[in-house]
C-alpha cells in the first residue's frame, strides 16, 4: 500500500490504473469506513482512501480542532483491509490558496443538518469535487449514514455530469444499533450506553408508520419529547421523502426517517429508510 501526500505523486501513481475506486474520509477510521473500502474493491482493482479533515465543512464553533487525527493507525487499518493507496494531503496541498471558488449544492444544503451547520454542505461538495479532480475515480463509495451528504454528492455528480459511478453503502452499526462514527469516541461511558436510543427511537417511528400512523408531525413531536426527557438535545427527528428530503406526506411511499441530536457535547446523526 502506498501512502501519498501530494497531488503530483498521486497522479504519477495512478497514471497506469484503468479503474479506480475511491472512498473519501476524514480519517479516524472504523469498521464503517473499512466496509466502504471493501465495497470499492468489488468495483475496481485499485482502491484509494483519502484522509483529510476538511476545515471548510466545519462551522466556527464546531469540533475541527479536536477532531481525532490518527493517520498512523488509519494506514495500518487500510493496509490490512487491502487498500491500494492512502491519499493524505495536508491543508496547504488541498488549499494552496484560499478557496474562493466553491460548490453551491442548492436548496438541499439549507434543510436538516444545513440548519444547525450552515455552510457545511458547501464545504463538503467543494472538497469532494476537488478530491474527484485529484483522484479521478471511476467509482466512489459513500455511506448512507450521512444520508443528506449522499443526496448532495448525487446532485454534484448528476448536475456537473461527472463521469463517476456512485455507490451508497448501508450504515455499519455496533451490535446495540449505534451507527459507527468517529465522533462516538467523544462519548463518556454513560453517554455511550444511552447513544443507541437514537436508532431505537427511529425504529419506534418506523413501527408506528408500518402500523398505519400517517400523522408524521405528531410522531415527530412525540419522538423529540422522548429524546428530551432522556437528556438529549435534538436538532430534528423527522419523516422525509427519499427523493429530495422534503417533509413526507401520507401519499409518499419511499421514506427516510432522519435524526440529529446532541448527547452532552457530542452531536450524533442517524437515519432509517422505509418503503411502504
Ligand atoms: P467521515 O470520515 O465521517 O467523513 O466519513 C467518510 C465516509 O464514511 C462517508 O461516506 C461516511 O458516510 C462514511 N461512513 C461513516 N460512518 C459510517 C457508517 N457507520 N456506516 C457506513 N458509512 C459510514
**Distance (Å) from CA 214 to ligand 1 centroid:** 31
Residue minimizing CA distance to atom 19 of ligand 1: 180
Strand partners of residue 167: 141
pLDDT at 142: 98
Atom of ligand 1 lying closest to residue 36 CA: 22
In the chain, where do the E strands start and end? 2-4, 20-25, 46-51, 85-87, 139-143, 165-169, 233-241, 254-263, 266-275
Residue 87: closest CA among 140, 39, 27, 40: 27
pLDDT at 91: 98
Cell of 64: 475541527
- Gap between the Cα atoms of 50 and 20, Å rounded: 13
Cell of 232: 438529549
Domain boundaries, the chain: 2-169, 182-275
Query: Per-residue pLDDT averaged across 140-166, rounded?
Result: 98
The answer to whether the CB of 30 falls within 8 A of the CB of 42 is: no
**Distance (Å) from CA 216 to ligand 1 centroid:** 28
Residue minimizing CA distance to atom 14 of ligand 1: 143
Question: Which SS3 state, helix, strand or coil, does residue 156 take?
Answer: helix
Q: Which residues have a Cβ under 8 Å from the Cβ of 223 and sit 6 or more positions away?
A: 201, 204, 205, 234, 237, 259
Pocket test for ligand 1, best of 57, 78, 145 (most atoms within 8 A of CB): 145
Mean pLDDT across the chain, nearest whole number? 98
CATH number of 2-169: 3.40.50.620
pLDDT at 252: 98
- Gap between the Cα atoms of 78 and 41, Å rounded: 12
Distances (CA, A) of 6 to 19, 50, 82: 20, 11, 21
CATH class assigned to 182-275: alpha beta
Q: Is the dihedral of CA 33, 28, 68, 97 positive or negative?
A: negative
- Gap between the Cα atoms of 270 and 48, Å rounded: 26
Tell me the pLDDT tens digit for each residue of 69-98: 999 999 999 999 999 999 999 999 999 999
Tell me the pLDDT tens digit for each residue of 217-251: 999 999 999 999 999 999 999 999 999 999 999 99
pLDDT at 274: 98
Distances (CA, A) of 243 to 155, 163, 199: 11, 22, 22
Say if strands 233-241 and 46-51 run parallel, antiparallel, or are unpaired: unpaired
**Distance (Å) from CA 218 to ligand 1 centroid:** 31
266 pLDDT tier (thresholds 50, 70, 90): very high
Burial of 132 (0-12, 13-18, 19+ CB in 10 A): buried
Tell me the pLDDT tens digit for each residue of 20-70: 999 999 999 999 999 999 999 999 999 999 999 999 999 999 999 999 999
- Gap between the Cα atoms of 10 and 37, Å rounded: 18
Say if strands 165-169 and 139-143 run parallel, antiparallel, or are unpaired: parallel
Amino acid at each position: 500500500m502506498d501512502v501519498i501526500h501530494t497531488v503530483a505523486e498521486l497522479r504519477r501513481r495512478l497514471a497506469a490504473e484503468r479503474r479506480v475506486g475511491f472512498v473519501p474520509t476524514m480519517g479516524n477510521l472504523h469498521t464503517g469506513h473499512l466496509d466502504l473500502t471493501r465495497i470499492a474493491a468489488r468495483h475496481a482493482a485499485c482502491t484509494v482512501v483519502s484522509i483529510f479533515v476538511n476545515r471548510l465543512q466545519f462551522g466556527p464553533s464546531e469540533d475541527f480542532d479536536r477532531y481525532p487525527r490518527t493517520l498512523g493507525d488509519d494506514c495500518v487499518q487500510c493496509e490490512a483491509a487491502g487498500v491500494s493507496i492512502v491519499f493524505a494531503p495536508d491543508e496547504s496541498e488541498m488549499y494552496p490558496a484560499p478557496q474562493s471558488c466553491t460548490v453551491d449544492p442548492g436548496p438541499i444544503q439549507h434543510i436538516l443538518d444545513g440548519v444547525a451547520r450552515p455552510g457545511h454542505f458547501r464545504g463538503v461538495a467543494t472538497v469532494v469535487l476537488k478530491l474527484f479532480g485529484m483522484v479521478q475515480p471511476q467509482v466512489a463509495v459513500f455511506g448512507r449514514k450521512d444520508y443528506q451528504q449522499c443526496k448532495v454528492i448525487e446532485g454534484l455528480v448528476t448536475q456537473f455530469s461527472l463521469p463517476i459511478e456512485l455507490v451508497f453503502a448501508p450504515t455499519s452499526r455496533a451490535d446495540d444499533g449505534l451507527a459507527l462514527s468517529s465522533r462516538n469516541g467523544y462519548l463518556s461511558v454513560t453517554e455511550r450506553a444511552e447513544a443507541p436510543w437514537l436508532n431505537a427511537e427511529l425504529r419506534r417511528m418506523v413501527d408506528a408508520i408500518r402500523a398505519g400512523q400517517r400523522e408524521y408531525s405528531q410522531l415527530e413531536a412525540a419522538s423529540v419529547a422522548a429524546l428530551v426527557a432522556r437528556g438529549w438535545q435534538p436538532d430534528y427527528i423527522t419523516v422525509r421523502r427519499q427523493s429530495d428530503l422534503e417533509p413526507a406526506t401520507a401519499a409518499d411511499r419511499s421514506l427516510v426517517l432522519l435524526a440529529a441530536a446532541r448527547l452532552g457535547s457530542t452531536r450524533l446523526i442517524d437515519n432509517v429508510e422505509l418503503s411502504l
